[in-house]
Structure 1
Amino acid sequence: MGEGLIAPKNKSYDVVIVGGAMLGSAVAWFLSDNPDFDGSILVVERDPTYEFTSTVHTNSCMRQQFSNEINVRISQFAAEFVKNFREFMGNDERVPDVPLHSYGYMYLADNEAFAQVLRENQKLQAACGAGTKFMTRDEIKRDYPFYQLDDIVGANHNLVDEGYFEGSTLFDWWKRSAREQGAEYIANEVVGMAKNPAGTRVESVTLKSGDVIACGSVVNASGPRAVLTSRMAGIEIPVEPRKRYTFIFSAEQPLDRDLPLTIDPSGVHMRSDGTYYLAGCPPDDDPAVDYDDFVQDFSIWEEKAWPVIATRVPQFEAIKLINSWAGHYAYNTLDQNAILGPHSEVENFIFVNGFSGHGFQQSPAMGRGTSEWITYGEYRSLDLTPFHYDRIAQNRPFLEKAVI
């Protein structure tokens, strides 16, 4: 057996989850916590330090500001889950409260066409019970006088259950609790899969340690590496690693109130982050990158992020970069939305992939829904079928206008 690899205790499991980071652990916990599921769970994680996972590089943001009702509902459940975390975790006294910092998103529009899209989105969000308000430039200036708004015609803003949360706490407790409830986590790697003669089921997975494990279902929770896992079952999916940059900075003159997560028309976003501020953006040239490429390009800070930050908030002309990192989005090139549920032919191959930066806020609903699908063969909470694989096979995008 290879160095550091751990063999599974058994030769057969009802569910094998490939990837034990946020989404894999969400599935493991919701399954192990479901009283109607009495099967065995194996979680195979290639990097038990999680050092290079999207989970560790996340900014833990949460918003209801989507253009599609199901995406709004998914985030509303996330807010409910975070605010009642201990209760969802069985009122375990060890489980801490998880803060939800509701600074809101400030989605700025610099032209009337986009402002109209925001107005339409606001109507849908309000119909779902979200607290989104459309604000005129004067209203933004009244509530947040630090913005420079000469080019802005309006914005959407929501101060209810929208902002950021301590997602790492959910992740840690999902892992711990899933183990306590019987899920087995091993440091190993799935390197192959064998299907039945008809090609309709994955019968076993082969691990890097050489172990061959029979399985009832396989869950692909491999983050940016999702297609490497699906190819073992002969399946292509449009998910690739895209690099995203995060910057932590301090201000010589801090603002006198919280900075909402501000989405500038340039694509740069920024928000309060404790005593500091956080900013991020995609590169202008945004290709797929190597799975192990986390090299930072500091010109993005100097030439893109900082100039926008200082222009939008003149008080941020004097700021100091404290920390920065590059992480990977599991980027769905078809429509930047999740790929979920079973494959249309390999019926026991289950997707939890392609979240394109929405994975943390969507993990409670997706973990719950995947648990329901595996246990009952249907969704019993939110209908997540719009995210199913069949749209990938049909090249039928699931349209979401509010992708950041």
Structure 2
Amino acid sequence: MTDIAIIGGGVIGSAIAYFLAADPGFDGSVTVVERDSSYEFSTSARSVASIRQQFSTRENIAISRFGYDFLKNIGTHLAVDGDAADIQFRDGAYLFLIDGTQRAAYDRVLDLQLSCGAEVEQIEGPKAIGERFPWVNPEGLETAHLGLSGEGWFDGYGLTRAFRKKAVSLGVRYIDGEVIGIEREGARVTALKLADGSRLPAGQIVNAAGGRARLVAEMAGIDGLPVSPRKRCVFFCECRDPVPQGLLVIDNSGTYFRAEGNGFLTGRSPGPEENDPENWDYDVDYSQFEDYLWPTLANRVPAFEAIRQTSAWGCHYAMCLLDANAILGPHPEVENFFFANGFSGHGMQQSPAIGRGLAEILTTGLYRTIDLSVFGYDRVLTGTPLEETEVI
């Protein structure tokens, strides 16, 4: 028997476990069930792992501000026996390159970001963009947004392991196993059924199963969770010329890149008009690089005409198909079943605030640090999206 069972030991599940165990007012037991303890195929290990304040919803900005402060002080927060956690955090900045068709939407978002305390600079016109960033071809651009603080990148696998190690040191139990069923009595879930034939009775159950979230919800008799795995490919390239340092650049085409070691990482998410099917494999689609990424990179950064793609990997976004925002908190009818799902590529950077928020609502029934109630399941039932437009 455990007081709280968490399905999924990736960065979200482990963050929730840590914040529960670190709460001096909570003296219950926490058990995390993780089907791949190596994290070989976990998005937590395959993520580009960065954090930004440039979002289009007030709550996501607040989540990032909390997350940045936590990550900057992670050596203290997640130290175990005097051994400070190190996730190789590096301060950096997101640079959004914006064309005329995108301008009005980004102007509205900028006003929101500034009102929420985010520090973002607008660089007006192609001439100013070219002068500020001489390696950029500013043709077709109208403006650019540059984060001035609170942004950067880090080792996502390291963060996942740090949360897990600290949680274990505080008494959280991890089980290597796969959940294949959930027992339910009326309006309450009562136990997990594992592939090895065992069962785990639980007082509360948290769905932190990433791309498998919909399948887990269905085990509890909850249909229609709009979360689906969508494949994303990341490519590492070497370049003959120096790659711009300290920036994660998002081109108006949707292609992103940032320096990594002696080269750079690049990728993209499909546009709204493109096919983006549910996907469970990790195969790399090299045609993405040849047919789309390389041409758009070379157009925006002339030095990238001479690059060499040397490695690549596939990962999954747990996409919320309703609005690209997380689904959090209790189910309105299955009262002890909680969601932490649908992060749509933002889970790594949002994990500190989500871990804190879920721990609060599990133990007190309220969000205390940041009000995350807008992400509740009710919007799924009513089909009312809370749209996040800045999805990379």
Secondary structure at the counterpart of residue 67 of structure 1: coil
Residue 43 (1) aligns with residue 46 (2): no
- Residue 14 (structure 2) pairs with residue 14 (structure 1): no
Q: CA deviation at 1:234?
A: 0.9
Distance 1:56 1:86 in 2: 20
Q: Secondary structure at the match of 1:153?
A: strand
Identity of aligned residues (%): 41
Residue equivalent to 2:231: 243
- Going from structure 1 to structure 2, the CA distance change for 1:179 and 1:210 (only over 3 Å counts) comes to same
Q: Distance in 2 between matches of 1:92 and 1:160?
A: 32
Q: Distance in 1 between matches of 2:279 and 2:389?
A: 28
Gaps of at least 5 residues in structure 1 are 1-11
Which residue among 51, 58, 67 is the counterpart of 2:56? 67
Residue aligned with 2:362, SS? helix
Residues 1:208 and 2:198 aligned together: no
Letter in 2 for 1:346: V
Counterpart of 2:173 (choices 180, 184, 190) is 184
Q: Which runs of 5+ in 2 are unaligned?
A: none
Code of the residue aligned with 2:242 in structure 1: it is: P
Q: What is the CA–CA distance in structure 2 between the aligned matches of 1:84 and 1:259, rounded to whole Å? A: 20
Confirm whether residue 352 of structure 1 aligns to residue 337 of structure 2. Answer: no
Cα 1:90/1:46, change in 2 over 3 Å: closer
Deviations for 1:311-332, whole angstroms, at most 9, x for unmatched residues?
A: 1000111011121111111011
**Alpha-carbon contact 2:86-2:158 (below 8 Å) kept:** no
Q: Structure 1, residues 159-205: CA drift from partner, whole Å, max 9, x if none?
A: 31213122322211111111111111011111111111xx2110111
Structure 1 pair 306–356 and aligned structure 2 pair: CA distance change class (3 A): same
Task: Let me know the Cα RMSD of the aligned residues.
Answer: 1.5
Deviating beyond 6 angstroms after TM superposition, the runs of 4 or more aligned structure 1 residues are none
Q: Secondary structure at the match of 2:316?
A: strand
**Could you tell me which residue of structure 2 aligns to residue 139 of structure 1?**
128
Once residues 57 and 111 of structure 2 are traced to their aligned partners in structure 1, the CA distance between those partners, rounded to angstroms, is 11
Instruction: State whether residues 118 and 155 of structure 1, in contact with CA within 8 Å, keep that contact through their aligned partners in structure 2.
Output: no
Task: Indicate the residue corresponding to 2:356 in structure 1.
Answer: 368
Structure 2 residue aligned with 1:327: 315
The answer to whether the 8 Å contact 1:243/1:286 transfers is: no
CA deviation profile, 1:16-75 (whole Å, cap 9, x unmatched): 110111111011111111111111111111111111111111000111111111100100
Structure 2 Cα separation of the partners of residues 287 and 89 of structure 1: 37
Give the aligned residue type for 1:120: R
1:86 offset after TM fit, Å? 2.1
Residue 84 of structure 1 is aligned with which of 69, 73, 91? 73
How far apart in 2 are the matches of 1:91 and 1:45?
22
1:130 Cα shift?
1.3
Asked if residue 381 in structure 1 is aligned to residue 364 in structure 2, the reply is: no
Amino acid at match of 2:245: D
CA distance in 2, matches of 1:259, 1:348: 44
2:106 to 114, 118, 133: 118
CA distance in 2, matches of 1:57, 1:170: 12
Answer yes or no: is the 8 Å Cα contact 1:338–1:387 preserved in 2. yes
Measured in 1, the distance between the counterparts of 2:353 and 2:389 equals: 20
Structure 1 residues 80-119: Cα deviation after superposition (integer angstroms, max 9, x where no partner): 00111122236853113444333311111111x5223222
CA distance in 1, matches of 2:283, 2:80: 42
Distance 1:64 1:215, change over 3 A: same
Q: Partner letter of residue 91 of structure 2?
A: S
Q: Distance in 1 between matches of 2:261 and 2:360?
A: 37
Q: Tell me the matched-pair count.
A: 388
Q: Is the 8 A contact 2:6 2:208 kept in 1?
A: yes
CA separation of 1:69 and 1:157: change in aligned 2, threshold 3 A: same
The question of whether the paired residues in 1 share the 8 Å contact of 2:231 and 2:279 is answered with no
Q: 2:217 aligns with which of 230, 234, 243?
A: 230
> Which residue identity is paired with 1:25?
S
Contact 1:204 1:214 in 2 (8 A): yes
Tell me which moved more, 89-98 or 227-236. 89-98
Structure 1 position 53 matched with structure 2 position 42: yes
TM-score under structure 2 normalisation?
0.95
Corresponding residue number in structure 2 for 1:3: none
State the Cα distance separating 1:282 from its structure 2 match: 2.6
CA contact (8 A) 1:83 1:99 kept: no
CA contact (8 A) 2:53 2:61 kept: yes
Residues 27 and 274 of structure 1, relative CA distance in 2, 3 Å threshold: same
| Distance in 2 separating the partners of 1:179 and 1:97 | 17
